[in-house]
Structure 1
């Protein structure tokens, strides 16, 4: 009787184990190979209008961004904006302004829990360029024999740089996002003048620096249309 009972229990355990193995084999492994975002996401960098709080001079501007998910987790990005810098000091009155554009992509590192999870932590690369002008409305050079004053007319220039980006975008309401990014900017090419030297590049920052750090904080809205259909 004991042998029969032991045999019956062993058979039941074997059947249960085989059933669990079969169930596990039927369950597909969770992957992140689906499209999270069907539409086009439009962003506004609200930190561009507050740069004077942490940058030298009266610096302000505006920037728009556009991105979409081309293939799972890969987002082509277009960023374009305008910036102006005005510096009034004891010996110089300098201004610079212009437009800039960045092209690149972001790659989402975050593993989504489900297909409608659009939160992302990303790394990205950008190529940036600008078209700008500068003007020295007045300068003063103190001199024993008398101060020297003068001005420089408008000068047009441009620059190119590469950017490395680390950031996140989180959905706070349906199709509405908040996000921030930390940017490292490496200057590639710069048009300059003998007098005066270019001091500021819109979209890049201080022109005399080969490498700049920057921070951005943006709001986004995903235009909910499926262009893949």
Structure 2
């Protein structure tokens, strides 16, 4: 499959977020001792969109994957989150001439933990979390016609499966950073370790790409970059 063009754009976005908050993780000042006993339970809601996947697709990738996230802040420490996205791919392998096509929504639910919960004066924070992901999708796969060696190569067997219904489940371990850039506007990036739990299997075919998860491997890493807005209520 054609390689994705994510490396350069993600490196630029991550470096830009780091420059906004230099020495962020090591900041120390008198406000570090600020008391948190009277922090209100509800601290606000954030909505955001993942833009790295959109950027890759615009730059020529065969894969489109993006999501909208909705996150609630409780006690400035616990951050339950819902992510709803859409993924699609339509590509041909240069090595095998196999064509793979799918497009479907995906869903993730989980929570993050703000490691800087007692430093509300800072313009951002570091966090870690977990997600459960799910996608139900249909895919098409087509390849070169095969020959049956049992009959001297005289019988040809087509390799073409359309409308294959599949479901997939996975877990993600998330670590990242969120930084306020202007008033309620924020941006952030995260590294995600993904572990596939299960997917529907068939005797002669399996999905190459799972919307929301990526290439169908047992585990994998991805980078995400979000633009976010803290809702004014």
TM-score range, shorter chain: 0.7 to 0.9
**Matched pairs, number:** 193
Which deviations, in whole Å up to 9, do the C-alpha atoms of 1:111-164 show, x marking residues without a partner? Answer: 554x4545110000111111111012x321365658754521211111111110
Match in the other structure for 1:159 = 168
CA distance in 2, matches of 1:51, 1:191: 28
Question: Is the counterpart of residue 98 in structure 1 residue 104 in structure 2?
Answer: yes
Question: Is the counterpart of residue 75 in structure 1 residue 84 in structure 2?
Answer: no
Match in the other structure for 2:130 = 125
TM-score of the aligned structures, taking structure 2 as reference length: 0.74
Unaligned runs of 5+ in 2: 1-32, 148-152
Residues 32 and 123 (structure 1), Cα distance of their counterparts in 2 relative to 1, 3 Å cut: farther
Aligned residues of 2:85 and 2:107 also touching (Cα < 8 A):
yes
Aligned residues: CA RMSD: 2.7
1:34-113 aligned within 5 A: 34=39, 38-51=43-56, 58-89=62-93, 91-110=97-116, 112-113=118-119
Match in the other structure for 2:225 = 217
Q: CA deviation at 1:39?
A: 2.5
Aligned residues of 1:127 and 1:162 also touching (Cα < 8 A):
yes
Q: CA deviation at 1:95?
A: 0.5
Match in the other structure for 2:185 = 176
Unaligned runs of 5+ in 1: 1-28
Residues 112 and 180 (structure 1), Cα distance of their counterparts in 2 relative to 1, 3 Å cut: same
TM-score of the aligned structures, taking structure 1 as reference length: 0.75
Residues 54 and 183 (structure 1), Cα distance of their counterparts in 2 relative to 1, 3 Å cut: farther
Aligned residues of 1:35 and 1:69 also touching (Cα < 8 A):
no
Match in the other structure for 2:4 = none
Which deviations, in whole Å up to 9, do the C-alpha atoms of 1:75-102 show, x marking residues without a partner? Answer: 1010110100112236222102211111
CA distance in 1, matches of 2:167, 2:123: 37
| Helix, strand or coil at the partner of 1:72 | coil
Aligned residues of 2:100 and 2:208 also touching (Cα < 8 A):
no
2:194 to 175, 185, 191: 185
Match in the other structure for 1:12 = none
CA distance in 1, matches of 2:140, 2:102: 6
Q: CA deviation at 1:30?
A: 2.1
Match in the other structure for 1:26 = none
